[in-house]
Every structure is written in structure tokens, then in C-alpha cells.
Homo-oligomer: A and B are copies of this chain.
Amino acid sequence: MQPLRIAVAGLGTVGSGVVRLLHEQADILAARAGRPLQVVAVGARNRRKQRKIPLGRARWEGEVLDLATASDVDVVVEVIGGSEGAASELVHAAIAAGKHVVTANKALLAHQGADLARRAERAGVALAFEAAVAGGIPVLKALREGLAGNRFSRVYGILNGTCNYILSEMRATGRGFDEVLAEAQAHGYAEADPSFDIDGIDAAHKLAILAGVAFNCAVNFKAVHVEGIRHVSAADITFANELGFRIKLLALASVGANGLEQRVHPCLVPIDTPIAHVDGVFNAVVSEGDFVGRNVFEGRGAGAGPTASAVVADLVDIAAGRRAWAFGVPARDLARLPAAPMRDHVGRCYIRLQVKDRPGVIADLTAILRDEKISIESMLQHGRAVGDEGVPVVLVSHEAREAAMSRALSRIGRLRAVIEPPRMIRIESL
């Protein structure tokens, strides 16, 4: 049979991995797809860069954008990255030229997912992006096809390996955030500019895509409530442990009476849940379907091999003629779900305060919480204050509305005995 003719745009870690995988596994890929998968062209910003990748007879395309219109190309693999610029132009041009598109670009899909899906459908081409969410875990296919019989009430997971690595290391070593981040940067687990990861943006991109697939809705990245892990301290991790929890950066999406709730923030998760044991650079996604119940999918969330695995799975599907709508249903049928306001979110909270150890402070705190109808499940206070440093006081609340909690924390922060801004981390029962 005719080979599937592939152009790879971008030869960084992921692009090189894709080329290498297609080369090394050529025999099994042809057997599984029913036809060979052949790289006919590649393009990247810098040709001169040394790359030890087996390009075979693939030609070099100086103008990356020309890959979109080359007559000898069936599929464009976009692994340039970024929500705008070259990546976006290339994907639009490829779809317009009637080429299938496989991309690992979560930022692009988070911003333009529904629009690109509509364009691809009109052009009659595939838009595939398994690699954009949870790297090597084939979770989009699982939700879209393998669990197609279910309505999902909730999907959530650990979608950023950098944050998970940092939080795992902080717990394992007892060290603080800044120190572990610096080490992660030295090891290449975190970028020189880590804000995309540690401030939760990357996880939010992935969550918006995941929610689109799970709930057959238009991707709505702007509606994601995002908080990162900069404020998680070694003390929080110690207290969480003592209370029977792990701290994880979770990305959660659920559909309820208020609409679609999407949020990314650090969470305390009970130690006996599967997700509490997903450590280091691993990702995990949990889905809750009405017939199947809970499924957990775990694997490597990033890196050349896992990401290439996901990109190539999409290519095999295209080569084999297996097609699915990008977000599970035709683009015109994608639901436009209202965004559930975060202020209406209800949940338990962990609150850590640094207070001067003097009479009446606990009474003041509890009075404020009582005024907001927030009841306390437990309280921890270790040791006595030395000098003016204060002592940490940790409170665990029963379920409370987010708006009430915000008001209470704001008032607590203004108490004279409270000498640092209160830190709140939500507790997820899962």
C-alpha cells in the first residue's frame, strides 16, 4: 500500500523523538498501520544545529510553512510549540491545504481548539493531539473511544510533571520550594523560565483540552481557575503528611448544576487514593463515568520517548484510516457550557497561619470563621513562639463555600496577631 507521507515541523526534543521512533519502529508501524509511515520532509528554525537523528531521504524544507502546502505530504506533524506565530500559521495553512494535522501543542489547542476542530472537519482532515495532554498516556483516545459509552461527571489529574517532581522532591527531602526548583532546573526537569509550569498555566492548557474531550464541549481555557505551587512550603508538606494527605497540583474539571467547573491548584489529597502515589515526573488522569465508574491512567507526562509515542499513535490511526472527531462529536455539536464561578465552589480547606502566641488569638480566629459559618474539623499547633517569629497554626475546615472562605481569610489576615498572609490549600476527597 501507499505509504503515509509525513512532514515533521520542529526538530527539538519532541520532533527528533518522532523521527527516531518512526525510523526505529518502521517495521512494526507498517504492520500495525497496514502501510509504511514515511518521513518525507522536515523543517526547523535552525538547520545548522547538530541533530543526531536518522533523517534518511527526508528533504529539508527551509521555509517551515511550505510543509503545509507541499504536494508530497499527507500529514503535517507540528511540534514547534506556542499558541501563536509559526505553529499556529502552519496548522491553519496545513488544514486549509487539506493535510491531516498531528500536534503536541497544548497552548495552541487550549486557545483555538474548537475553531481548529471546525476547520479540520470542513476540510475533511484529521486534527489529532494525543500528545498534548499527559504525554505518553493515551487518555484522550481512552475517553473519546474506549469509554465512549459513558457520560463523565468529572475528570482530574496530575498534568504537569515539573510541579509533580518538585512537590515529590520537597516531600522526600524536606527541602523548600526554591531550592528544589533550582535543582530541577539544573537537571533539566524545569525550564530556565519555569513560570508556565509552576504557575499552573501548562496544566490549565491541558485541562481545558481534556475537559473538551470528556464533556464534548468547546475548549474554554480562559474559564480555568489557575493557581500554581510557588506558595507551597516545606511546612505545608509536613503538616499535610501529619494530617494524612499528600500535596499535589491537580487539574480538575466537572460538570454540575452551575456549569463546567475547571480549576488548577495545589490540593491536599488523602494518602489512600491512587493519585497520592503518582510521584516524580509521572502524570495521571482519573475519569468518572456513569457506567464504568472510576478509571485511572498513569504514565510519563513528558520527554522525547513518551511524547513521540503519542504523536506516532495518532499517525498510525491516520494511516489505518481510523478517524474520530477531535472533541468526540462534530464541532457544530460541541456544547458551550457556562463556566461555574469559583466563588460558588464548595470544599474543605487546609489553612496555615503564622501567629503570635498570645492570649485570645485562637478566639479571634474562630470567631471570624463562625461569622462566615465555616466550621473547623481539626486544629494543629506545635511548639510555642520564640521571640517575634510566631508559631504555625493549622486549621482544617469542613465544607465551605469559596466566597465565604475568601472573606474569612481576608479578615484573618488583618488580625494583628497574624504575622504572615494566611495560606489556604484546598482539600479534595476524590
Chain A residues proximal to chain B, CB less than 8 Å: 17, 21, 25, 28-29, 31-34, 130, 136-138, 141-142, 144-151, 216, 272, 274, 277-278, 289-300, 305-306, 308-310, 312-313, 316-317, 320-325, 328-330, 333
28 A-B Cβ contacts within 8 A? A25-B151, A25-B291, A28-B216, A31-B216, A31-B330, A136-B291, A136-B293, A141-B146, A142-B142, A145-B313, A145-B317, A148-B313, A148-B316, A149-B308, A149-B309, A149-B313, A272-B277, A290-B305, A291-B312, A292-B305, A292-B309, A293-B299, A294-B299, A294-B300, A295-B297, A296-B299, A298-B298, A320-B324
Chain B residue nearest to A137 (CB atoms) is: B295
What separation, in Å, do the CA atoms of A149 and B25 have in the docked complex? 7
* B148–A33 CB distance below 8 A: yes
* A316–B277 CB distance below 8 A: no
Further pairs besides A145-B322, A148-B312: 18, Cβ < 8 Å? A32-B144, A32-B328, A148-B317, A149-B316, A150-B309, A272-B277, A274-B278, A274-B298, A277-B277, A291-B305, A291-B312, A293-B300, A293-B305, A295-B297, A296-B297, A296-B299, A297-B298, A320-B323
What separation, in Å, do the CA atoms of A34 and B312 have in the docked complex? 25
* A138–B149 CB distance below 8 A: no
What separation, in Å, do the CA atoms of A97 and B118 have in the docked complex? 39
* A309–B147 CB distance below 8 A: yes
What separation, in Å, do the CA atoms of A274 and B146 have in the docked complex? 22
Separation in Å of the A304 CB from the closest CB of chain B? 8
What separation, in Å, do the CA atoms of A166 and B137 have in the docked complex? 30
Chain B residue nearest to A139 (CB atoms) is: B146
Chain B residue nearest to A150 (CB atoms) is: B309
Separation in Å of the A206 CB from the closest CB of chain B? 17
Separation in Å of the A351 CB from the closest CB of chain B? 29
Separation in Å of the A153 CB from the closest CB of chain B? 13
* B151–A130 CB distance below 8 A: no
| Most chain B beta carbons < 10 A, residue from A28, A32, A305, A329 | A32
- Chain B residues near A299: list those with CB within 8 A: 292-296
- Chain B residues near A148: list those with CB within 8 A: 29, 32-33, 312-313, 316-317
Separation in Å of the A298 CB from the closest CB of chain B? 4
- The answer to whether residues A145 and B138 also contact, given A292-B299, A292-B306, A297-B296 and a CB cut-off of 8 A, is yes
* B308–A291 CB distance below 8 A: yes
| Most chain B beta carbons < 10 A, residue from A21, A295, A329 | A295
- Chain B residues near A31: list those with CB within 8 A: 216, 329-330, 333
- The answer to whether residues A289 and B274 also contact, given A149-B25, A328-B32 and a CB cut-off of 8 A, is no
Separation in Å of the A315 CB from the closest CB of chain B? 8
* A21–B149 CB distance below 8 A: yes
What separation, in Å, do the CA atoms of A328 and B25 have in the docked complex? 15
Chain B residue nearest to A315 (CB atoms) is: B149
